[in-house]
Amino acid sequence: MCVHAHPDDESSKGAGMMARYVREGVEVLVVTCTGGERGDVLNPKMDRPEVQENLPRIRSEEMARAREILGVEQHWLGFTDSGLPDGWLPDSGIDLPEDAFYLVPTEDAAAPLVEIMRSFKPHVVTTYDEEGGYPHPDHVKTHEISVAAFDAAGDPGRYTDRGEPWQPLKLYYNHSFGKARIEALHYAMVDAGLDSPYREWMDAGDWTRDKGERVTTRVECAEYFDIRDAALKAHATQVDPDGFWFAVPREIQQKAWPTEDYELVESRIESRLPEDDLFAGLR
């Protein structure tokens, strides 16, 4: 089970891993917490009034296409996108809309996720780290309810109206953009005589939020990057096929950084670190 904040997050964070496991016969469920209702149209080719006016419906249709490409099951949790006001941080004091996912008490917001965990019975759960991967209110809330549900799903004394208890065995955080990966892709582009989309990042040299040292598990999935890219392009309102996400040729990505990377943060079974498989110890 991979828990994400918005439609498109599943395709930009861990899609190669999911594509691999689906094709190895693993059941994979994406849980999407919100509909992305307050998102923007980020692809200039799609930035038209009729698209913005119908964005919730269109994003749902995009999710359906991405779900089919990846081969995963998917469940909408049903909360409302919080939006991302300029300057928002968890302690900034900047107001969010009253119906924002972020403002739902964690105990309440985790309840439907507990029910899905007990129904689907995942052995492995992935989600975002304590900062949400980046400080978006919906990503932070997704982290909070994922951790809460992981702990509560197996407890027969909690959420007694949400199905029979089931304890997932391993909880991971996604780590998509660590310093080592960015450097590897950047220098691979330079060596190929191409313009690197990460040059400004390299020049800035600000790695204060790098969490690369926390990675415990690198899942080889380079041969599935084509499926990952197709799923990401299915979210046409969010991703410009000629933009940043696709500036590094796939062949260079496959050679320079062929894995998707995770941090094992809780395990109810013994597993030796480092790992190359989210199911290490479970096979």
The pLDDT of 4-21, averaged and rounded, is: 98
At residue 188 the predicted structure's pLDDT band, cuts being 50, 70 and 90, is very high
Residue 177, pLDDT score:
85
At residue 271 the predicted structure's pLDDT band, cuts being 50, 70 and 90, is confident
The pLDDT of 7-24, averaged and rounded, is: 98
The pLDDT of 114-129, averaged and rounded, is: 98
Is it the case that residue 41 has pLDDT exceeding 90? yes
> From CA 135, how far away is CA 49, in angstroms rounded?
28
Which structural domain, as residue segments, surrounds residue 224? 2-177+210-248+257-267
Sign for the pseudo-dihedral over CA of 73, 224, 132, 151: positive
The pLDDT of 140-150, averaged and rounded, is: 98
In-domain check, residue 225: yes
Q: Which segments are annotated as binding site for Zn(2+)?
A: 6, 9, 139
Cα of 61 vs its chain's centroid, Å? 19
Structural domains of the chain, count:
1
Residue 205, pLDDT score:
86
Residue 206, pLDDT score:
85
In-domain check, residue 187: no
Is it the case that residue 11 has pLDDT exceeding 90? yes
In-domain check, residue 186: no
In-domain check, residue 279: no
Taking alpha carbons only, the member of 174, 183, 176, 182 closest to residue 146 is: 174
Q: Which segments are annotated as binding site?
A: 6, 9, 139
Q: Name beta bridge partners: 124.
A: 170
In-domain check, residue 107: yes
In-domain check, residue 165: yes
> From CA 58, how far away is CA 182, in angstroms rounded?
32
In-domain check, residue 197: no
> Which class for 195: exposed (0-12), middle (13-18), buried (19 or more C-beta within 10 A)?
exposed
Q: Name beta bridge partners: 260.
A: 219
What CATH number is associated with residue 233?
Answer: 3.40.50.10320
What is the side-by-side strand order in the sheet with 259-267? 73-79, 29-34, 2-4, 124-127, 170-174, 259-267, 217-220
In-domain check, residue 142: yes
